[in-house]
Amino acid sequence: MKTDILAASLNATPADVLIVPLYRNEAIADGPLAELDAALGGGLRELVDAGDLHGRRDEVTYLHAPAGIAAKRLVLVGMGEPTTSPLEQIRRAFMTGVRFMRGKRHSAIAVADRGEGSALRFGEMAAEAVAVAAVDLSAYKTEDRNDLHVESVTIQTTTEREADVRRGAERGRIIADGMNLTRSLGNEPGDHLTPPMLAERTAEMAAANGLTCEILDESRLKEMGMGALLGVARGSEEPARLIVVRYEPEGEAVGETWGFVGKGITFDSGGISIKPREGMEWMKYDMCGAGAVVGAMSAIAKLRPNRRVLGVIAAAENMPSGRAIKPGDVLRSYSGKTIEVLNTDAEGRLVLSDALTYAQELGATRLVDLATLTGACVVALGHVYAGLMSNDQAWAEDILAAGGRVGEKLWQLPMDKAYREQVKSDIADIKNLGGRAAGTITAGYFLREFVGSTPWAHLDIAGTAWIEDDRPCIARGASGFGVPTLVELAAPVAE
Ligand code: BES
Ligand code: MN
Ligand code: ZN
The domain spans of the chain are 2-157, 185-490
Question: What SS3 class is residue 43?
Answer: helix
For 361, other C-beta atoms within 10 Å of its C-beta total 12
Q: Which atom of ligand 1 is nearest to the CA of 270?
A: 13
Q: Which residue is catalytic, options 102, 275, 332, 409?
A: 275
| Ligand 1 surroundings by CB, under 6 angstroms | 268, 286, 343, 345-348, 372-376, 378, 433, 439, 462
Residue at 9: amino acid letter: S
Residue 318 Cα: closest atom of ligand 1:
11
Strands 456-460 and 386-390: antiparallel
Q: How far is the CA of 403 from the centre of ligand 2 (A)?
A: 26
Name which residue sits closest to atom 16 of ligand 1, judged by CA: 346
- Residues (pLDDT < 50) of the chain are none
pTM of this prediction? Answer: 0.97
pLDDT at residue 358, rounded to an integer = 98
Q: Whose CA is nearest to atom 17 of ligand 1?
A: 346
Q: Quick check: 432 and 446 in contact, CB under 8 A?
A: yes
2 catalytic per annotation? no
Candidate from 319, 342, 374, 481 with most ligand 1 atoms within 8 A of CB, to mutate:
374
137 CA to middle of ligand 3, Å?
22
* Domain 185-490 = CATH 3.20.140.10: no
What separation in Å is there between the alpha carbon of 31 and the centre of ligand 2?
A: 52
Longest dimension (CA), the chain: 79
pLDDT at 147: 66
- List the catalytic residue out of 91, 241, 349, 448: 349
Euclidean distance between CA atoms 467 and 275, whole angstroms: 20
> Which atom of ligand 1 approaches the CA of 343 most closely?
18
The per-residue pLDDT for 137 is 72
Nearest bound ligand to CA 435?
1
* 200 alpha carbon – ligand 1 mean position (Å): 26
Shared fold status for 2-157 and 185-490:
no
* CA nearest ligand 1 atom 5, residue: 375
- 258: closest CA among 307, 304, 224, 319? 307
* Atom number of ligand 1 nearest to Cα 376: 21
Query: Ligand 1 centroid to 283 CA: how many Å?
Result: 9
At residue 148, the pLDDT reads: 73
Q: Which CATH number fits domain 2-157: 3.40.220.10, 3.40.50.800, 3.20.20.30, 3.40.50.300?
A: 3.40.220.10
Pocket test for ligand 1, best of 318, 345, 381 (most atoms within 8 A of CB): 345
Q: Which atom of ligand 1 is nearest to the CA of 434?
A: 19
Residue 146: the pLDDT is 67
- 407 C-alpha to center of ligand 2: Å? 28
For the chain, the 3-state helix, strand and coil shares in percent, each to the nearest 5, are 35, 20, 45
Active-site residue flag, 275: yes
Q: What does each C-alpha distance from 283 to 118, 269, 275, 286, 382 come to in angstroms?
A: 39, 7, 10, 5, 17
